[in-house]
Amino acid sequence: MSYFPPSFLYRIGAFISWFFYLAAVKRRRVVIEEISKLFGARFNRERIRMIARRSFKIYVKRQTENMVFGSLTESRLFRLVSIEGLDNMKKSYKKRKGIILLLAHFGSYLLPPAILAYMGYRVHQIAGKPLVDKRRVVYRKVFEARKRQSDRIPFQFHQTDKNLGSAVRALGHGDILVIAFDGRTGSEMVSTKLFNRTAQISPGPFKLSFKTGAALLPTFVVRGGDDKHRLIFESPIEFPICKNREDTIISSMNSFAGLFEKYLLKYPCHFGMTLFTVKKEASKGLNPSLFTD
C-alpha cells in the first residue's frame, strides 16, 4: 500500500466504505442512533444519515492512513497536512515545562504525534492497552501491520496498564505528552456535559497540567474535501481561579468540552465511528461507557 500515492489510497478507501456502510447493518444502525442521541434536534433525520455515511468514509480512510504512515517519507506526509496555530505550540514549548497535547478520538487523531516527532520534538503518547480480538485473523493481521507502522515513527508509547512514571518525567524535561480527552482508562471519571448527554471523562490530564505547570494544548485534526488535513493547535487552556482545586479542574474540563462541541457541530462525521466503538467496548465490559445514559 505504501507504494501507491495517498490520493489513490483515499479513492480505494472511499469505494470500500460504500460497501462497508451497506453491509454493516448493525454498526450503521448504532452510529445513527448515537449521533441522534448526541446532537438531538440540531440535525434532521436526513442530515444524521448523511453524517453516518460520511463517518464510515472517514473511518475507512483513517484506517488506510494508519496502515502506511510509518512508510511514508516525511515530505509525503507533510504534503498531506497543513498546520494552524503552530505559534501556540512553539510558545508553550519554549517555557520548558512540557506540553500536554490534549486530543480526542476525532478525525485522524494519530497525525499530531507523528507530525511533531518528524518536526524534531520529543513526543510521548499515553494510550490504553490495545483491545484486539486475536482469535480473528483479519483483526490480528491489521493490528500487527499498524503496529509495525507506528514503531517506525520516532515517538514513544506509554501504556496505561504499566508504570507511567517515565511519561510524567518527560514533562519535566520539557517534552510533549499526548493524551486523549475521551480516553476510557482513567482511574476516576468526572461528569461533563456534551450537548444532550453527560459524558464520563478522566480528569487525569487536567490534574497533571495543574500540578506540573505543563501547558494544556487542545489539538484537533480536520479532514478536508480534498483529503488534506488541517492540524490545529488551539490556545492553551487557562486554569480559572476557583475556591478549591476540584472546582478549578472541573471548570477547565468544561472549557475543553465547550471547545470540543464547536468542532463536533462543524465536523460531526469525524466522531461518528468513535461513538460506535466506545459503545461496543462498554457493552462487552472492556472499557467504561463514555456516556451515563
Q: What is the pLDDT of residue 143?
A: 64
The residue ranges of every structural domain in the chain are: 6-283
The pLDDT of residue 78: 83
Of 149, 96, 147, residue with least CA distance to 121: 96
Tell me what pLDDT residue 159 has.
Answer: 66
Of 179, 181, 194, the C-alpha closest to 261 is 194
This prediction's pTM: 0.89
Give the number of residues written for the chain: 293
Helix spans in the chain (H): 6-23, 25-39, 45-66, 74-79, 86-94, 111-118, 137-151, 165-172, 204-212, 245-266, 272-283
Q: What is the mean pLDDT of each run of 10 residues along the chain (293 residues)?
A: 76 92 96 95 95 96 79 75 94 91 93 88 78 63 65 66 75 92 82 92 92 94 94 93 87 95 97 94 87 88
CA distance 203 to 237: 14
Q: What is the pLDDT of residue 67?
A: 74
